Amino acid sequence: MAEQNEKIVALYVRVSTGYQVDKDSLPFQKKELKAYCEHVLHIDKNRIEIFEDAGKSGKNTKRPAFERMMGKVKSGQVSHVIVYKIDRISRNLVDFSLMYDDFKYNNVTFISLNEQFDTSSAIGEAILKIILVFAELERKLTSERVTDVMIGRAQNRQWNGARVPYGWDWDEEKQCPVHSKKEAQYAIDMYEMYLNGGSTVSIRDYNNAHNIPTKRGGEWTSKTVADFLRNPINKGAYRYNYRESARGRKKSNEEVVFIENAFPPLVEPRIWELVNKRMDENTLKLNTSSMHTIRKNCNVFAGLIVCGKCGVNYQVTAKDRRKGSGFRPSSYACTGKYQKNHCDNLNVSDVKIGPFMINYIAAMVDASKNRKFIKDTESLEQVLLSHISFSNIAGISTDSLQETLELISGYSMSKSALWSAETLSKEQQTSADSKQSELNEKLQKVNRALERLKKVYLFSDDGMDEKEFLEMKSSLEADRVKIENEIKGLSAPIATNVDQVAFIKSASEFLLMHKINSGEFVDYKELATLDEESLKQFMNSVIDHIVVRERKIVEIVFVNGLSHTLLYK
């Protein structure tokens, strides 16, 4: 009980407008709640904390003070939540149910003064739920009435208060949109540019290059250009109730209010129709609406590439058609290219990035496995750059090499290494020795079976069909490779940190793990063709980001913070 008396009593007050009537005003609510705590509950005023949301609607829980209060409820700091009226805290049955579950779980008593109940009793809890049903019904009825009024206004060609689009200004005297003196000519020019062979991309670039801001003062994107060109208000029509919300699902045609000739047209209706018809044709021809085709594909290096010129991320721009080998490379471009600064860094592709990265990572693994032979930064650099033909690379920065050398040698414990050099305990070593003996026996059996198979095929009187021989031989050789790889895995240094486990587990395909550990050239196209998703997960588990400049990888930053700066000739 003593612990309960140390918790705070939360008084929650809310109004939806700044000029609510006196009986619902914030000062009135606070006064009544404080009096109730003092004279009825006899609560020490030092335990009282007021959570106040002014000008916030009760239809959802996206309210700063409410969210702060619920944070304290969930952390067990609150004994009571008290409101003046139940609709002050919620007018949505689903939201309230979730909130009340948190109250019950954390032993919080909920009290509403106006309805005169508290949930410390069973009857109070039942009355609460009944009242809330009617509170939500009232909100929905009010919402329906407001919607009906707004649709009626739209049908009478009255503007319903939304932000006027680009090319238009709001006229307070006429209470309707009018042509903007500042933006109208730019708006008309955009239609002309599109008709003269332009595109949303070229118009975007022209506007940003000539410092023509959007309505909100930002930079143009191809989408904002397309949205502007497609807006029917520019041909004088008024469209209302088009979407569920600002960016929500489009409503059926029966629900949309569409009034032709509601306003003086900004561009001739004929021009508007021509532009929109051409946009429809281009969309069908290129099948690039909303870049849907790109989004649904797996892009291995999406989110990992950073521009070495302007510092922003690269974005996916295309996914090539499947080639004869089955490989489908992705292309990436600097996001800054489409912004006002118009970065000129070159695009990159999986064709170049993929083989470089997979073989560089394989070289890191190779260096870790052979660390006892690597005594200085020069020998480390030689191992890293000999794994693949990095012919145009002059070297790796000395700082990068020194940090990596310390890391793989086990000297630096300041970071969690991707490939650590920790030794096995005696128990682990005994288990590993036992496992290795078992594998060696299996390997000997497989080798003997292969020898016998060859003899049967070559010298048996009954003979053996060539196809049967090749199938059995292939199966035995696959078993031998698998056993040999397991033996190599036991003999290689085993990392005991979490990153090494994640590194191995992330390669879901045996081929990926085997290829990287083999010490040989890794065919990126083969891996990407087999399992692009696993390859993407693998890259994200190892790489934090890659910095590129003029299609060259100039820096690789691993997830543990280790950074390699590459120097080019």
DSSP for 168-214 reads: EEEETTTTEEEE-TTTHHHHHHHHHHHHTT--HHHHHHHHHHTT---
What is the reported pLDDT for 495? Answer: 38
pLDDT of residue 179: 93
- Residue 423, pLDDT score: 39
pLDDT at 294: 41
| Cβ-based neighbour number of residue 412 at 10 Å | 15
Please check whether residues 316 and 245 belong to one and the same domain. Answer: no
Q: How many domains does the chain have?
A: 3
Give residue-wise pLDDT tens across range 45-61: 899 999 998 877 766 77
* Residues of the chain where predicted confidence (pLDDT) is lower than 50: 1-2, 19, 21, 287-295, 411-425, 492-511
Tokens of 417: 């290494």
Q: Locate tokens 């390997």: which residue?
A: 443
What does the alpha-carbon distance between residue 206 and residue 547 come to, in Å, rounded to a whole number?
28
Amino acid 83: pLDDT: 92
The pLDDT assigned to 418 comes to 46
**DSSP conformation letters of 538-552:** HHHHHEEEEEEETTE
Do 36 and 132 fall within a single domain? yes
Q: What is the 3-state secondary structure (H, E, C) of 108-150?
A: CEEEECCCCEECCCHHHHHHHHHHHHHHHHHHHHHHHHHHHHH
Which CATH number does the domain housing residue 128 bear? 3.40.50.1390
Domain presence at residue 177: yes
pLDDT of residue 3: 64
Measured CA to CA, the distance from residue 114 to residue 126 in angstroms comes to 16
pLDDT at 416: 41
| Span 206-225, pLDDT tens digits | 888 888 888 888 888 888 89
**From CA 546, how far away is CA 143, in angstroms rounded?**
51
- Structure tokens, 146: 């407001």
One DSSP character per residue, 368-411 reads: HHTGGG--SHHHHHHHHHHTTT-TTEEEE-HHHHHHHHHHHHT-
358 and 520 Cβ atoms separated by less than 8 Å: no
Asked if 275 and 300 sit in the same domain, the reply is: no
pLDDT digits (tens, 9 = 90+) for 174-202: 888 899 999 999 999 999 999 888 888 88
The CA R_g of the chain, rounded to the nearest whole Å, is 35
Residues 295 and 282 in one domain: no
Distances (CA, A) of 309 to 317, 334, 342, 345, 395: 19, 9, 11, 7, 21
Q: Which domain holds residue 122?
A: 2-145
Q: What is the structure's pLDDT at 286? A: 58
SS3 535: helix
How far does the chain reach from its first CA to its final CA, in angstroms?
75
Q: What is the pLDDT of residue 189?
A: 92
Q: What proportion of the chain, given as a percentage, has pLDDT over 70?
A: 71
Phi, psi of 469 (to 5 degrees): -60, -45
254 and 310 inside one domain = no
121 in the same domain as 174: no
Give the domain-ending residue among 286, 301, 318. 286
- Let me know whether 314 and 253 are in one domain: no
Tell me whether residue 222 is in a domain.
Answer: yes
> Which pLDDT value is given to residue 116?
73
Q: What is the DSSP letter of 163?
A: P
What does the alpha-carbon distance between residue 212 and residue 228 come to, in Å, rounded to a whole number?
14
Q: Can you tell me the distance from the alpha carbon of 344 to that of 432, in angstroms, rounded to the nearest whole number?
A: 54
Does 486 fall in a domain? Answer: no
- In this structure, the answer to whether residues 217 and 329 fall within a common structural domain is no
User: Do 374 and 505 reside in the same domain of the chain?
Assistant: yes
Establish if 215 belongs to a structural domain.
yes
Q: Domain check: are 38 and 9 in the same one?
A: yes
User: What's 196's domain CATH number?
Assistant: 3.90.1750.20
Looking at 145, 178, 196, the residue that finishes a domain is 145
Which position has the token pair 């949309």?
Answer: 256
Residues 235/259, Cβ–Cβ less than 8 Å = no
- Give the CA dihedral 46, 49, 54, 57, nearest 10 degrees: -150
Residue pair 42/34 in contact (Cβ under 8 Å)? The answer is: no
Confidence (pTM): 0.42
Among 286, 313, 332, the domain-final residue is: 286
In this structure, what token pair is assigned to residue 384?
Answer: 């890293």
The tokens for 413 are 């414990």
Please report which helix (H) or strand (E) contains residue 68, including its range: helix 64-74
Buried b (16+ CB within 10 A) or exposed e, 34-64: bebbeeeeebeeebbebbbbeebebbebebe
The single-letter code of the amino acid at 332 is Y
Q: What per-residue confidence (pLDDT) applies to 343?
A: 84
